[in-house]
Structure 1
Amino acid sequence: MASSTIVPAMNPPPGLTSNFIDPPYIGAKFVVVNAVFLPIAVLSLLLRTWTRLFVVRSFRWDDSLMIMAMLLSCAMTGITVDMLNFGLGKHMWDIPATYVSPWFLRRNVIAAILYCAATGFTKVSVLIFYLRIFPSRNFHIAVWVLVFIAAGYSVASVLANILSCTPVDKAWYPMKAGHCMNRPVFYFANAGLGIFTDFATVVVPVPWLRRLQMPIRQKIAVSCILAMGCFVGIVSCIRLSTLYTLLKSPDLSWSTTDALMWCTIELNLGITGGCITAIRPFVRRYFPRLLGLSSSSGYKSSSMSRKYGHPLGSIPRPNAPNFSNVHSNQYSTTATALDNESEENILQKPQPIATSPKGIGIVRTVEFDVEDGRGNHS
């Protein structure tokens, strides 16, 4: 139903009239998406934070960066849900022109800034977390290149959104004198770089993960984590298709709904996936059977090798046995059993054995037989 006293933001297509009372509306699905994916991301972050503070007791930069990403995601949700009050989810010809400028357009710019910053924090957090897991120099070089790319294009995206128009407020006052960049084209290019970093973040650790020896349940868990990373990349591709629609359609308030919806899904899935990679110690302590472990804590010799996967290393002794001897003898070797329930440096090189002030470390003794060529043993 049209009103002669209200000016629509855009003239309706031929055969249609403006309806300010009960127009077509697709904003409900946007609310549902935020109500589902944001709490999942928040819960994942809470588990990660608990793990780092109370299980591992080692809070690092990547944890702080992920918290920043979550705060920005919450702020973006608040801004975009508020956009529903100013026409998001409705056709341009069904909302008053005063809703679009400045209210809708200003919130749209703020949401874009928050999204670019949040995705940058998320990806850099995940990559820095990788640095603590794999000590390989070549791996670190590859990761730092990705950090530079992800952080660089995120900062550039934030600045591009802020300075997209000259003067700046022309972005939400389109009738003001000045000029603006083609925002949908910028979003399209930004999404392309985002897809590249999404898949690169998943692919980079694969060669190093293949070297790990772990129980089948842990391999399944790692595969699920990588699969979630791939799914985030697929969601980015879907978002790219919605940006193409936005690029071609003048119906901004209607077309922006799907684009923002997929931004919300992508961002919160990225945060969730990044947090899942860091909560393995939480699962190991409270739900050990999920990882195929027989004990959730302690240093029980019967399950330690399965739980921590540390290779035994002998303590050098002057009377070390000579295994080339043809005689059968029984020897013992001792190995350090140190672990802070952290997933860090699971591929690290052997370290010197830690000792107490008395010079004695936490050790485990394993007896084994050496058999000679005649099959005799003791």
Structure 2
Amino acid sequence: MSALQEPLDPALYESRAHIPIAVITVVLSLASIAVGLRTHTRAVILRQFGIDDATAILALILAYGSGIMVASNTLYGAGRHIQVVDLSLLWKYFRTFYVSIVLYNGSLTAIKIAFLLQYYRILTTQRMRRVITGALIFVALWSISQLLVTIFTCTPIEKFWKPEVEGTCIPNLPFWYINAAGNILTDVIVFATPLPALGALNLRKSQKLMLLGIFSLGFFTCAISIIRIQYLKLSPDVTWDNVESSCWSISELCSGIICACLPTLRPLLAKFVPSIGTSKNTSYYKQHASGRDGTPGTGYSGAGRMKSVETSSERGIVYPEDIELHGGSDSGKGVRTDHRLSGHQQGRNHYIPQNLGFQPEMKTEIASGIPPSPSMRADRGIEVKRDFVITNGSY
């Protein structure tokens, strides 16, 4: 007669499988809204969808993959004590856990690259672009190396979820601590990179603080990364203990995605709250126009005449999507850009805020009527050339 098995403590049958499902649903929903609004703003409102926006979408897709793996792991024992989990399901638990870790590192890499590509688009001085390029190379190399180490933690890979398979594995705990510390360091590099350039802008104190605050939102993700470290060390009851670590990991990803999207949403908010885009600051523009329209006093007579017009317009508080910090050199003297305006661009109000320290001078030349030279095509019509000269002086 076999001995009776000792009954387990009723507390071991407790389940908290609902916690990761609830947390993942909430944070992924918020991240999806942020990416959706960013995509609409950049692609529809501004029509300037770029590689940084595509990278943010990729980060969200990978975060979804990691979150789905974490949530589906509740089918294999996640959220329950390992003593009451069916042992035949444990290999599936660790296989799903492995996939979630790989996707987590992939999403984290995409988030950091999205931040840096966004800085590269906005901060266009040569000095800042060199700094951002250096940061991008360092962060990309570190993140990709960690992703590869995660993928090949065990040789063969299958040994991660089937310990009986012959092979070797890197010890989990030292690697996870090194990975977490490196991620925090690269987070600080990513989020601190634009701050010196923003702090040097010629803005009112309130504007500068608001701009620095928007770009510093990413440090909230660093805080989550630091909190997550204390949950990396797991006891033998791994299916129970890993709930906190998994929840903080997905929250870290979604926080990074949201922080990357928030600075791009001001144009969308301004459509519904116009006061966001207005202030009492006035920017002045000086326009020199010359043409051949036959109008007495303003048209072309012999050598032609030049007409100067000063206009002003209301300009709102400076936001990341406004500044597009153009600078021609490290000395901050600005750039000169020449371009032909297409039909839909003619008549648009092109401006650069005066309070950024750059003074725009717009020159418009209009040529119409009979071409002065036979070499010009008669069907050329009206040609508009508009030059912007940005200087660092004052009127």
Q: Which residue of 2 aligns with 1:81?
A: 71
Q: Which of residues 265, 268, 275 is equivalent to 1:289? A: 275
Give the counterpart letter for 1:193 in structure 2.
G
Query: Could you say if the C-alpha distance between residues 139 and 360 of structure 1 is closer, same or farther in structure 2, counting changes exceeding 3 Å?
Result: closer
Give the counterpart letter for 2:30 in structure 1.
I
What are the superposed Cα offsets for residues 306-357 of structure 1, whole Å, 9 maximum, x if unpaired? 5xx6x6467599xxxxxxxxxxxxx9654799x9x95362343243446465
Following TM superposition, by how much is the alpha carbon of 1:165 offset from its aligned partner in structure 2, in angstroms?
A: 1.1
Give the counterpart letter for 1:105 in structure 2.
F
- Distance, in Å, in 1 between the alignment partners of 2:13 and 2:134 is 49
Query: Could you say if the C-alpha distance between residues 117 and 355 of structure 1 is closer, same or farther in structure 2, counting changes exceeding 3 Å?
Result: farther
- Distance, in Å, in 2 between the alignment partners of 1:98 and 1:221 is 55
**Unpaired runs of at least 5, structure 1:** 6-14, 295-302, 318-330, 364-369, 371-378
Which secondary structure state, in structure 2, belongs to the residue aligned with residue 343 of structure 1?
helix
Q: Report the RMSD for the aligned CA atoms in angstroms.
A: 3.3
Which secondary structure state, in structure 1, belongs to the residue aligned with residue 264 of structure 2?
coil
Query: Could you say if the C-alpha distance between residues 16 and 73 of structure 1 is closer, same or farther in structure 2, counting changes exceeding 3 Å?
Result: farther
Query: Could you say if the C-alpha distance between residues 100 and 354 of structure 1 is closer, same or farther in structure 2, counting changes exceeding 3 Å?
Result: farther
- Distance, in Å, in 2 between the alignment partners of 1:356 and 1:264 is 56
Residues 190-205 of structure 1 mapped to structure 2, 5 A cutoff: 190-205=179-194
What are the superposed Cα offsets for residues 61-111 of structure 1, whole Å, 9 maximum, x if unpaired? 11111110011111111111000111111222121211111x101111100
Q: Which residue of 2 aligns with 1:17?
A: 8
Query: Could you say if the C-alpha distance between residues 260 and 361 of structure 1 is closer, same or farther in structure 2, counting changes exceeding 3 Å?
Result: same
Query: Could you say if the C-alpha distance between residues 284 and 251 of structure 1 is closer, same or farther in structure 2, counting changes exceeding 3 Å?
Result: same
Query: Could you say if the C-alpha distance between residues 354 and 34 of structure 1 is closer, same or farther in structure 2, counting changes exceeding 3 Å?
Result: farther
Moved more, 158-167 or 108-117: 158-167
CA contact (8 A) 1:123 1:150 kept: yes
Higher relative contact order (CA 8 A, sep 6+): 1
What are the superposed Cα offsets for residues 6-38 of structure 1, whole Å, 9 maximum, x if unpaired? xxxxxxxxx98376x971223322222112211
Residues 1-378 of structure 1 mapped to structure 2, 5 A cutoff: 17=8, 23-101=13-91, 103-214=92-203, 218-219=207-208, 221-243=210-232, 245-246=233-234, 249-291=235-277, 293=278, 306=282, 312=285, 334=310, 343=322, 345-348=324-327, 349-352=334-337, 353=362, 355=364, 358=367, 359=384, 361=386
* Number of residue equivalences: 319
CA contact (8 A) 1:336 1:362 kept: no
CA contact (8 A) 2:289 2:365 kept: no
| TM-score (ref. length: structure 2) | 0.72
Following TM superposition, by how much is the alpha carbon of 1:39 offset from its aligned partner in structure 2, in angstroms?
A: 0.8
Query: Could you say if the C-alpha distance between residues 71 and 354 of structure 1 is closer, same or farther in structure 2, counting changes exceeding 3 Å?
Result: farther
- Distance, in Å, in 1 between the alignment partners of 2:131 and 2:167 is 42
- Distance, in Å, in 2 between the alignment partners of 1:26 and 1:267 is 22
- Distance, in Å, in 2 between the alignment partners of 1:233 and 1:16 is 45
- Distance, in Å, in 1 between the alignment partners of 2:243 and 2:15 is 10
| TM-score (ref. length: structure 1) | 0.75
Which secondary structure state, in structure 2, belongs to the residue aligned with residue 17 of structure 1?
coil
Query: Could you say if the C-alpha distance between residues 312 and 197 of structure 1 is closer, same or farther in structure 2, counting changes exceeding 3 Å?
Result: farther
Moved segments of 4+, more than 6 Å: none
CA contact (8 A) 2:78 2:240 kept: yes
- Distance, in Å, in 2 between the alignment partners of 1:153 and 1:164 is 16
CA contact (8 A) 1:212 1:347 kept: no
**Unpaired runs of at least 5, structure 2:** 291-306, 328-333, 338-361, 368-383, 389-394
Query: Could you say if the C-alpha distance between residues 287 and 215 of structure 1 is closer, same or farther in structure 2, counting changes exceeding 3 Å?
Result: farther
Following TM superposition, by how much is the alpha carbon of 1:254 offset from its aligned partner in structure 2, in angstroms?
A: 1.8
Query: Could you say if the C-alpha distance between residues 31 and 204 of structure 1 is closer, same or farther in structure 2, counting changes exceeding 3 Å?
Result: same
- Distance, in Å, in 2 between the alignment partners of 1:95 and 1:176 is 22
Following TM superposition, by how much is the alpha carbon of 1:57 offset from its aligned partner in structure 2, in angstroms?
A: 0.4
Query: Could you say if the C-alpha distance between residues 169 and 351 of structure 1 is closer, same or farther in structure 2, counting changes exceeding 3 Å?
Result: same
What are the superposed Cα offsets for residues 171-228 of structure 1, whole Å, 9 maximum, x if unpaired? 1101212111112322211111111121222211111112335567754643442342
What are the superposed Cα offsets for residues 126-152 of structure 1, whole Å, 9 maximum, x if unpaired? 101101111122222221222122222
Query: Could you say if the C-alpha distance between residues 52 and 217 of structure 1 is closer, same or farther in structure 2, counting changes exceeding 3 Å?
Result: farther
